[in-house]
Amino acid sequence: MTRKRRRLYIVLSGMAVLALAASLILMSFEDSLVFFRSPSDLVEKPVPVGRNFRLGGLVEEGSVVKDGVEIRFRVTDLAESVPVLYRGLVPDLFREGQGVVTEGQLAEDGTFVASSVLAKHDENYMPPEVADSLKEAGHWEPEDKK
Partner 1 sequence: MTAEIGQFSLILALVIAILQGTLPLIGAARQNVPMMKFGESASFAQFLTVSLAFVALTVAYVESDFSILNVASNSHSLKPMLYKISGVWGNHEGSLLLWVWILALFGFAVAAFGRNLPYSLKARVLSIQGLIGVGFLLFVVFTSNPFERIDPAPFDGRGLNPLLQDPGLAFHPPFLYLGYVGLSVTFSFAIAALIEGKVDPAWARWVRPWTLAAWSFLTLGIALGSWWAYYELGWGGWWFWDPVENASFMPWLAATALLHSAIVVEKRDALKNWTILLAIIAFSLSLLGTFLVRSGVLNSVHAFASDPARGVFVLAFLIFVIGGSLTLYSFRAPTMKGGGLFAPISREGALVLNNLFLSSAAATILLGTLYPIFLDALSGTKVSVGEPYFNATFLPLALPLVFALALGPFLSWKRADLKGVLSRVKFSLAFVAFVLGISWWLTDDGPFLAFFGMGLFAWLVASTAIEWAGRIKLFRTSFKSSWNRMVNLPRSAHGMTIAHLGVAMIVLGITASEAWQSEKLEVMRPGESSIVGGYEFRFDGARELKGPNYDFLQGSFTIFKDGAEFVTLYPEQRVYASPPMETTEAAIWPMMSADLYVVIGEEDGKGGFATRIYHKPFISWIWAGAIAMFIGGGFSLSDRRFRIGAAKKKSSASHTPEAATGV
CB of 69 to partner 1, least distance (A): 5
* Site for partner 1 contains 18 (CB under 8 A): yes
* Residue closer to partner 1 (CB basis): 2 or 108: 2
Q: Are 114 and 105 in contact (CB under 8 A)?
A: no
CB of 61 to partner 1, least distance (A): 18
* Site for partner 1 contains 66 (CB under 8 A): yes
Q: Are 102 and 54 in contact (CB under 8 A)?
A: yes
Binders in 100-129 for partner 1, by CB under 8 A: 103, 119, 121-123, 125, 127-129
CA dihedral 46, 47, 48, 51 (to 10 degrees): -170
Bridge partners, 85 (sequence order): 72, 113
Q: Return the residue of 45, 48, 69, 142 that touches partner 1, per CB under 8 A.
A: 69
* Site for partner 1 contains 17 (CB under 8 A): yes
CB of 121 to partner 1, least distance (A): 4
Residues 6+ apart with CB under 8 A from 86: 70, 71, 72, 73, 102, 104, 113, 114, 117
DSSP H or E segment with residue 5: helix 3-32
Coil, helix or strand for 116?
strand
CB of 12 to partner 1, least distance (A): 10
Residues forming contacts to partner 1 in the complex (CB under 8 A) are 1-3, 6-7, 9-10, 13-14, 17-18, 20-21, 24-25, 27-29, 31-36, 54, 66, 68-69, 87-93, 103, 119, 121-123, 125, 127-129, 132
